[in-house]
Chains A and B, each alone.
Chain A
Amino acid sequence: MPANAAYANSRTPAGHVPDPLVDAHDGESRGLPDMPPDPVMEAFGLNVYYGDFHAVHDVNLSFGRHEITALIGPSGCGKSTVLRCLNRMNDLVTGARVEGEVTYHGQNMYARNVDPIAVRTHIGMVFQKPNPFPKSIYDNIAYGPKVTGMKVENMDDLVEGALRGAALWDEVKDKLKQSAYGLSGGQQQRLCIARTIATKPDVILMDEPCSALDPIATARVEDLMHELRSDYTIIIVTHNMQQAARVSDRTAFFTARADETTGNRTGLLVEFDRTSQMFSAPRDKRTEDYISGRFG
């Protein structure tokens, strides 16, 4: 594999302090190992700043159609930041500035004439903490199709379909008119997933969707991700290495490096590869340390 050369070069000899701004793959050598054949979204030279703080440095990534891509790495390395760039949720953060390109089907979603609302109707998001609306279960699902002006022939069918898709139908079919707050945390999170798929997005972003759930609920959501994979492209941030190994096709490992003068920790992408490859034979020492629990 010729692409291996990029990684071979980036391996730093012991004792040598790596240049923080040169990373595993710069723009030139974007020939990543075994890149997804049919990318739906790609990030090129993505840099994110919160005010003066450089949060994420030069990330290049590619997300394959009907694949699950996991973003892993230590806390504060910018995983959520990168994820929020992928459907322009960073627009809502005051002081956040995004440089570089994120393309969706070849279109730069940060181009001047792009409507972030339109972006978000194609690229949905599930948050770390379940955040159902204070409405009935039914209305939670119907909300998205209503506000996005989707043409719906039969809302009942759509609600049922979304709930079945999120493996929640059997548990809630008798209480659709009850408040979503009566559900357990795991059910609420699956409701949020159902709510997202009700708008028929193309890509679903998930930011640590299981971190507030117990192992059984986690297993259900993971099963659900496997099922959803045949229809959706999924990008998931997770702290749980086993989860990344279980559910994802590809994994991107990030880490944070402290600036020598300011001490600010800037996140960068270390390695991006097939999950099986990365977990069995990581190419970068930092990945290996993190995966084997020798990190920090």
Chain B
Amino acid sequence: MSNNASSVVGPSGRTGPPAVNLARKSRPAESAIRVVLTSSAFVSVAVTVGIIAALIRPVLDFFGEVPFGDFFSTEGQFAVLPLVAGTLMVTVIALLVSVPLGLGAAMYLSEYASRRARKFLKPTVELLAGIPSVVYGFFALTFVTPTVLQDLLGVQVNFTNALSAGLVLGVMVIPTIASLSEDALSAVPHSLRQGSLAMGANRMQTTLRVVFPAALSGIAAAIVLGMSRAIGETMIVALAAGAQKNLSVDPREGMQTMTGFIAQTAGGENPVGSTSYNTLFAVGMLLFVITLLVNVVSIALVRRFRQVY
């Protein structure tokens, strides 16, 4: 018994079996789950790295043949600035629609709606996010442009135009902004609202001056996500914004966006490896960089103005 491997020699030299078993046990399920979770985390990183790697070759090829100045130019076959301007125009219109409506919906749901109304309305709002964007694009082309803009509002717009695409894009982004902002507002502790109301503030003051600032970082994240979706959205702009590069400030005209250009070029008859085909990778890279910048800048801004509670 005293030679048993599991026996313990105590400080006093006393030998015997241990009173409690503290020996290491192997837990195969635990290790397996760990491996699975770790690899799934790495997959997303690997995909991102892979995408960038895949972009780099054709981008380098492209800039081997086309000088930088021809790419970042307002005119010419490879000019990208009209596309950037188109994206900017459509995104700004979309944000003008989605930020006020999305935040308004979020404030209503979080601060004003009764529990029953919220239970019904929030899923309804989120349902909007599930509509395929091609449906939105079709809706912009066949309803918003001819019926809403031309007939009802009497705006002289082209068949494809940035205004209609931007408006519908804005509607598409509303649920993203509304739902995430509502989460941010609801997460603000109740005690802050009570403190404000107990001082004689009304509900609107409490919402705008206490709850809203306290939720600002979450709201900013919601807007940035909405903006990224607007910048990256392809189907709506491909259908409704037009397929012509057009450096204009008039939203009634059609103008191609970066994503619209990529969709057109990839689906077109440009031979793989040709310079015009490689343009799409250069534009894609630029789109990637712009989205990244938008995210980085807004994260920095949010850090700066964030109120912790």
Question: Do the two chains belong together in a single complex?
Answer: yes
For the complex, is A192 an interface residue (Cβ under 8 Å from B)? Answer: yes
Enumerate A119-140 residues with CB–CB distance to B below 8 Å. 120-121, 124-125, 127, 129, 131-135
Which listed residue (B191, B198, B210) contacts A87, Cβ 8 A? B198
Q: Please give the distance in Å from B117's CB to the nearest CB on chain A.
A: 13
A-B pair number, CB within 8 angstroms: 75
For the complex, is B196 an interface residue (Cβ under 8 Å from A)? Answer: yes
Q: 1/0 contact trace for A106-118 toward B, CB 8 Å? A: 0000000000011
Q: Report the Cα distance A118→B197, complex, angstroms.
A: 11
Q: Is the interface of B mostly helix, strand, loop or mixed?
A: helix
A147 touches B201 (CB 8 A): yes
Q: Report the Cα distance A117→B203, complex, angstroms.
A: 9
A143 touches B191 (CB 8 A): no
A120 touches B192 (CB 8 A): no
A120 touches B200 (CB 8 A): yes
Given contacts A134-B213, A147-B209, A181-B308, contact A92 B201 (CB under 8 A): no
Q: Please give the distance in Å from A180's CB to the nearest CB on chain B.
A: 10
Which size class do A's interface residues fall under? Answer: 20 to 34
Q: Report the Cα distance A67→B69, complex, angstroms.
A: 80
For the complex, is B132 an interface residue (Cβ under 8 Å from A)? Answer: no
Q: Report the Cα distance A89→B198, complex, angstroms.
A: 7
Max chain B Cβ within 10 angstroms of own Cβ: one of A87, A121, A133:
A133
Enumerate A76-124 residues with CB–CB distance to B below 8 Å. 87, 89, 92, 94, 117-118, 120-121, 124
For the complex, is A255 an interface residue (Cβ under 8 Å from B)? Answer: no
Considering the complex, give the chain A residue whose CB is closest to the CB of B214.
A134
Q: Report the Cα distance A131→B201, complex, angstroms.
A: 15
Enumerate B188-221 residues with CB–CB distance to A below 8 Å. 189, 191-192, 194-202, 205, 209-210, 213-214
For the complex, is A39 an interface residue (Cβ under 8 Å from B)? Answer: no
Which listed residue (B195, B197, B308, B309) contacts A192, Cβ 8 A? B195
Q: Report the Cα distance A94→B113, complex, angstroms.
A: 12
For the complex, is B7 an interface residue (Cβ under 8 Å from A)? Answer: no
Q: 1/0 contact trace for A17-57 toward B, CB 8 Å? A: 00000000000000000000000000000000000000000
For the complex, is A283 an interface residue (Cβ under 8 Å from B)? Answer: no
Max chain B Cβ within 10 angstroms of own Cβ: one of A87, A143, A192, A199:
A143
Q: Please give the distance in Å from A273's CB to the nearest CB on chain B.
A: 29
Given contacts A131-B189, A131-B192, A131-B194, contact A144 B199 (CB under 8 A): yes
Residues of B within 8 A of A132 (CB): 195
Which listed residue (A135, A147, A179, A181) contacts B200, Cβ 8 A? A147
Residues of B within 8 A of A135 (CB): 213, 307
Enumerate B46-85 residues with CB–CB distance to A below 8 Å. none
B199 touches A148 (CB 8 A): yes
Q: Please give the distance in Å from A230's CB to the nearest CB on chain B.
A: 22
For the complex, is A187 an interface residue (Cβ under 8 Å from B)? Answer: no
Given contacts A89-B194, A143-B209, contact A196 B308 (CB under 8 A): no
Enumerate B114-168 residues with CB–CB distance to A below 8 Å. 115
For the complex, is A190 an interface residue (Cβ under 8 Å from B)? Answer: no
For the complex, is A195 an interface residue (Cβ under 8 Å from B)? Answer: yes
Q: Report the Cα distance A199→B202, complex, angstroms.
A: 14
B199 touches A196 (CB 8 A): yes
B307 touches A134 (CB 8 A): yes
Considering the complex, give the chain B residue whose CB is closest to the CB of A145.
B199
Given contacts A131-B189, A147-B205, contact A89 B197 (CB under 8 A): yes
Q: Please give the distance in Å from A91's CB to the nearest CB on chain B.
A: 9
B308 touches A134 (CB 8 A): yes
Considering the complex, give the chain B residue whose CB is closest to the CB of A205.
B198
Given contacts A143-B209, A147-B209, A181-B308, contact A133 B200 (CB under 8 A): no
27 A–B contacts from the bound complex (CB under 8 Å): A89-B194, A94-B115, A117-B201, A120-B197, A120-B198, A121-B199, A125-B198, A127-B194, A131-B194, A131-B195, A133-B214, A134-B307, A135-B213, A143-B201, A144-B200, A144-B201, A147-B196, A147-B200, A147-B202, A148-B199, A179-B308, A181-B308, A181-B309, A192-B195, A195-B199, A196-B198, A199-B199
Q: Across chains A and B, which 4 residue pairs bring their CB atoms closest together, nearest first?
A: A121-B200, A134-B307, A125-B198, A131-B191
Interface residues of B (CB under 8 A from A): 115, 189, 191-192, 194-202, 205, 209-210, 213-214, 307-309
Interface residues of A (CB under 8 A from B): 87, 89, 92, 94, 117-118, 120-121, 124-125, 127, 129, 131-135, 143-144, 147-148, 179, 181, 192, 195-196, 199
Known: A89-B194, A179-B307. 5 other contacts (CB 8 A): A127-B194, A131-B194, A132-B195, A134-B213, A143-B210
